[in-house]
Amino acid sequence: MANRYKRVEWGAGNDRVRTAPGTWAQPLRWDRMAHEVGKPAFVFCLSLGDIWDNEVDPTWRRDAFAVMERTPHLIYLLLSKRIGNARKMCNVMAGHSRLPPNAALGATVINQPEWDRDVWKLLDAADVLGARFTFCSVEPMLGPIKVRRSEMPSWVICGGESGPRKRPMDLTWARSLRDQCQAAEVRFFMKQIDKVLPIPADLMIREMPHA
């Protein structure tokens, strides 16, 4: 994806690149549309970035939060592979010791060790920073995950890996995670298998979090 957009070479240690002003203005239009419809819209923030990246200029985060605050009819999904940075990076931003009220906090975890390492960081950060809700993206799912009800986020997204070098996902892993979510009354979203194989009927679940 990075190569496709010709902005950076993935993994090459490039300087972080800020998107164009027009991109930053798009949420204002989406917010007007959501207001007209009378229903909040979800925005996945930074599909090619990470808001808690150590190398990002803190002023960019401050600017991003300002946009969120100007667009109250949007709900922002702040997904990160660096969820342990959330508390300290939010606290050092002038005037932003908490998240905007329309920001949800998420963590990417791909297997049991990552779940065990990061889910408590996610829940702790969400509590301290006042996240709208919490979510975990288990994508690509690279192993079975067993969870306790006390460590469940509000929403779990599951998916396999895609691309020519994709690593396989055992569907029993996804089914087990689905069952654990349903037992805990946590919403579950099966995103994909690998963008080629169809999602089996019993996993065709598209539950969204409460706005």
Domain edges within the chain: 21-203
Q: What is the mean pLDDT of the chain?
A: 90
Supply the DSSP string of the chain, one letter for each residue: -TTTTTS--TTS-PPP-PPPHHHHHHHHHHHHHHHHHTS-EEEE--TTS-TT-TTS-HHHHHHHHHHHHH-TTEEEEEEES-GGGHHHHHHTSTT-SS--TTEEEEEE--SHHHHHHHHHHHHHHHHHHT-S-EEEEE-S--S-----GGG--SEEEEE---STTPPP--HHHHHHHHHHHHHTT-EEEEEESSSSSPPPGGG--B-----
Name the strands in the sheet holding 41-44, side by side, starting at the edge strand that comes first in the sequence. 41-44, 74-80, 103-108, 134-138, 155-159, 187-192
Could you read off the pLDDT of 102-141 as tens digits, one per residue? 999 999 999 999 999 999 999 999 999 999 999 999 999 9
Residue 17 has pLDDT above 50, yes or no: yes
Q: What number is the average pLDDT over the span 51-68?
A: 90
Q: How buried is residue 100: exposed, middle or buried, by Cβ count under 10 Å (0-12/13-18/19+)?
A: buried
Give the per-residue pLDDT at 184: 96
Could you read off the pLDDT of 132-171 as tens digits, one per residue? 999 999 999 999 999 998 999 999 999 999 988 899 999 9
Which phi and psi (to 5°) does residue 117 adopt?
A: -75, -40
Give the per-residue pLDDT at 105: 98
What CATH number belongs to 21-203? 3.80.30
Residue 9 has pLDDT above 90, yes or no: no
Closest to 43 in 3D by CA, of 76, 88, 3, 89: 76
11-25, 89-103, 153-167, range with the lowest pLDDT: 11-25
Residue 53 has pLDDT above 70, yes or no: yes
Residue 179, token pair as written in the block: 């069952």
